[in-house]
Structure 1
């Protein structure tokens, strides 16, 4: 007989918390459930605990797999689920004993395809077991139409919602494997093919905040760590998967009013969390997505998409800092020429096969000092043309992407005084063939 609800529990090295999680499930007032525990290659004693509980309760089914991450574990659960409805629970969290009975009762309302309940925040090693502040407290209550406008105000977490398994399987909705932010395309895809959601104010889920949890690691990853793990483009990659879903199922009409701003938010989030050396990859990937899905045709008046599509990044506010910095200082080699970019001036020198002559650092420094002087004058002209209020804002701007904050005049001077280093690194220069452009 088909169970009413499938509960998918990915398990990875959570022996310390697993019993409390499983106790909250086997003691549910809703008895007609199946509990799919996906052991994602745990190296601790989690598998022993799972077997103990499975021996006592036939509703618990264990699936063992090599470690593949949260998404692959959840997807295995979806593939093996048999319930009418499905939900997810991390193995270090737990739910109230009446959580699923109470939540499932809301599906009795016509057209409800999703039930969303609230969450308690539980701090590990704290004297206070639960914090009273609203944690993932949604902005809606009762039955709400799932428009793209409403959806953009919702959290995308998988574990505080109950879904219809038939919708997930009909549209083959899955979590992207090997990426951070995997909840985004899953939730948005489901919401776009659903009708109504029921929002419950009751806090039925308890989220344990611990140092080594998947979510905390995700939220606290430094830029360098994200780079090491090759996750720097994951926001864009997950958004690309969502776009693929949208156009596969002809759902553009549902998101036409919000997709522009959504894309721009994803882009700027990616920019803000990327290291400087990888900004070029972000721009290149964004350009690829825009052209792949014909965004300039869908939104012909959007100058942002147009500039990215044509790789005219200097036309985008704040991005000009990045492209300016790259064009101000750079050393590029081709088969015939070596090009030195200094303050936007390209000094191109033809490579000589017979002799190598070094560039005079004094000549370059003299030229750059002249440019520095002109830049100082230009800077003063710009500032003096501002109103008093705008001038104060300009001079106190702390935005990381502001050009004069990151590459101020002192930094220019620093580069000028150390250009001899760059010159010494430049080989195969033929002074007689220098071309200024």
Structure 2
């Protein structure tokens, strides 16, 4: 039968109290028995003392044969008779010795009465033979009483030993049984405590490691079962809360990511052209101003290319805006492939593109780059199997020769581009007509 721990502890308490009461009761019984034994032995010793006094008075009476000796002997004999009666009433021993003592004491009393009766009748015990016979009778009776008292004393001692051993064995067995039961219950309770605490310890370790899915499975139903259920409920609540928190955190991260993406998208759209993905005019101007500040500190040269597509309006009007957008997209991709990572590329609007060539060592580099861009942009663009030829005009301005501010350099490159327009198809030139070239 599985007992819950509180009941086991209650049983342990009751067993402990029972053991205490058993010890107290055992000690009380031993003390009571010892007290009775002492009383009996003292009573026997008192009988022996009275018998010795009686022997003394009888001797005195025999020697002097006076009335005083007779009365003392008679009083002692009667007192001994009363004590023998009380001993017979109080003692639980075999009464054979007591009966003998009473009988022999009565014999002494009868002899004394006979002696008194003889004296009243005028008979004398002065004859030596009669006197000797009476003395011998007294001595034999006293000796017999002494022997019976000795045997009574030995029986009392033996009986006391027997009862004492019986009480010791009985009390010892009782205490041993209670102690064994108490030890068994204590060990079982301790073992259950160890099992319960070990179970809770493992559960706490798993929880400390972040394991919220495992559960405690007690093997018995007791207080630890209730604790395990509460612990499992707590882990379940934590698991649900953690899942909700993780879902909420995931949702927040998703929303944050979407907001970040939207923010980056809005920022990108605010700085870039929606069709080609290049810098718009405002963003391109800001980036060039940053580059100009760097170039001023390092005394470096830079170049700006203003690119305008030829025949774009004609193609856009003839084939439609979709074809025009396609041409602008292809042109932007070709320009991206021709510039360095340190260079800047933007679309000012319509078919106008602008390139910033940063950190150049000489002017010829700008002309060579313009020549490469023009060669790339004059290549036909195929749309739905139909080649479309788009030319370009490029105007060039050099920092710091053609201007030190963005507006100055852009205006100079724009004017140079318009200077290249009257030339033949696909041309580029420097502002103020410097190093004019045509292809």
Task: Assess same fold via TM > 0.5.
Answer: no
Relative to the length of structure 2, the TM-score reads 0.18
Relative to the length of structure 1, the TM-score reads 0.18
Larger radius of gyration between Structure 1 and Structure 2: 2
User: Which structure features the higher share of helix residues?
Assistant: 2
